[in-house]
Amino acid sequence: MMFLRLLAITLVAAVFLVPVNTLAVEQSNDSQLSTDQRLTNAVNDQHLTLDDATKALLNQKCQVAQVNLQKLQEKTDTIVESRINTYTTFQKEQQAIKLRMARQGVDASEIDLLIGKLQQGIDDLTLTANNYGTTLRDVITVDCIQKPEQFQAGLVVLRSRQSQLLQSANNLKKIMNDANTSTFLQLKKRLTA
């Protein structure tokens, strides 16, 4: 009886301790759906209904917005690619520093951690940018005059993903800024010792 109680307590504790992302496979099925399915899901998820004024506005101006979004897509693709290149270059440079220090017999193992943090940040930015790109393409290609709800719902998703993209880019920058006071300071101390 006591054993059963212990078992029950541990199982309850385990439910609280295990984060959902430890057990779940992080895979979005969104990419397997068609544009129409994705946007219909977005409309349903948001319980979106448009009033007449909004419909009239979208009818009148959504195609201009789609042209603007097309330009934004090209620009964002270039920016994301440039970010990824920049942080990959940092990784290469840090690896070179590590090798130079290793040749002098100085430990620079912190650099592995920094490169790992950067890699996680780069992966996150890539994934976020892919999701963003999918939504952006959906909003650009949808027939916004015939389906204003889908267009509007897509815009809501796009805004949320734009914020995630900003957060992801900020996170990468923070990793490098933090390295100034942690990793590099340690390396310098070791080199002057």
Partner 1 sequence: METEHDHRIVGTNPVVAIGFAIGVAGLMVLTTFLIFINSNSYKTVKQIEAGTKVARALQSSNSEYDTRSPIKADDITVYQNSVEQRLKSLDDANDFSPEKVSNAGLGLTF
Binding site for partner 1 (CB under 8 A): 1-3, 6-7, 10, 13-14, 17-19, 22, 57-58, 61-62, 64-65, 68-69, 72, 76, 79, 83, 86, 90-93, 95-101, 103-104, 111-120, 155, 158-159, 162-163, 165-166, 169-170, 173, 176-177, 179-180, 184, 187-189, 191-192
Q: Which amino acid is at 77?
A: D
Q: In this complex, which beta carbon is closest to partner 1, that of residue 32 or of residue 51?
A: 51
Which residue lies nearer to partner 1 by CB, 29 or 193? 193
Compute the radius of gyration of the chain from its Cα atoms: 24
CB of 33 to partner 1, least distance (A): 21
Q: Tell me how far the alpha carbon of residue 174 is from its chain's centroid.
A: 15
From CA 38, how far away is CA 32, in angstroms rounded? 9
**In this structure, are residues 31 and 134 in contact, taking their beta carbons and an 8 Å threshold?**
yes
CB of 19 or CB of 34, closer to partner 1: 19
At closest approach, how far in Å is the CB of 98 from partner 1? 7
Cβ atoms of residues 152 and 58 within 8 Å = yes
Q: Which is nearer to partner 1, 32 or 189 (CB)?
A: 189
φ/ψ of residue 37, rounded to 5 = -65, -45
Between CA 63 and CA 72, with CA 66 as vertex, the angle to 5 degrees is 155
Q: Which is nearer to partner 1, 45 or 112 (CB)?
A: 112
Q: Cβ 177 to partner 1, closest distance in Å? A: 7
| CA–CA dist 132, 140 (Å, integer) | 12
Minimum Å gap between C-beta 145 and partner 1 is 14
